[in-house]
Amino acid sequence: MHEKSVNYKNAFRAWKELDIRLKQKNTIDAEYQRIMDMEIQYWKGVLKRIMSIIRLVVSQCLAFSGTTEHLFQPNNGNFLKLVELLSQFDPVMEEHVRRVQRESDKWSVTYLSNNIQDEFINLMGNAILSKIFLDDRQFYPR
């Protein structure tokens, strides 16, 4: 009889185990999703802090870069010095600086290069211009 075969019993046991795991949200997909969600939150936190540092440097009319683009080097500029300072007190930036130092590969994403600083400044400037134009339309309709 089919229900008494070894293959049936193994398949039934695997199906029941999967059913339990799905109910408990204890599958590989659920674990992968949890890891992805944590990574998304990490990068949102990093970008929020980097944007805040950029806003501070811009609002104070300070120079961004120095003579080097490496963390914890003399004369690496106001931006990187503020990243270093924040990493001493903020766990998110502390972790980011730790990752940057560990992954010295030139292809790793750090969001600390002068190119990305310029890109963020351009994005912020465009957002400000868009806001100005929207406000202008509100007060001066065509």
Q: pLDDT exceeding 70 applies to what percent of the chain?
A: 93
Q: How many domains does the chain have?
A: 1
Domain that holds residue 134: 2-139
Q: pLDDT exceeding 90 applies to what percent of the chain?
A: 38
The residues, ordered by sequence, that sit 6+ positions from 71 with a Cβ below 8 Å of its Cβ are 80, 83, 84, 97, 100, 101, 112
CA distance 10 to 91: 47
CA distance 56 to 116: 16
pLDDT (tens digit per residue) in 89-135 = 999 999 999 999 887 666 677 888 888 888 888 988 888 888 888 87
CA distances from 131 to 53, 117, 139 (A): 21, 21, 13
**Does the pLDDT at position 15 exceed 90?**
no
Higher-confidence residue of 15 and 53: namely 53
**Does the pLDDT at position 86 exceed 90?**
yes
**Does the pLDDT at position 28 exceed 80?**
no
Q: How crowded is residue 80: how many other Cβ atoms within 10 Å of its Cβ?
A: 25
**Does the pLDDT at position 2 exceed 70?**
no
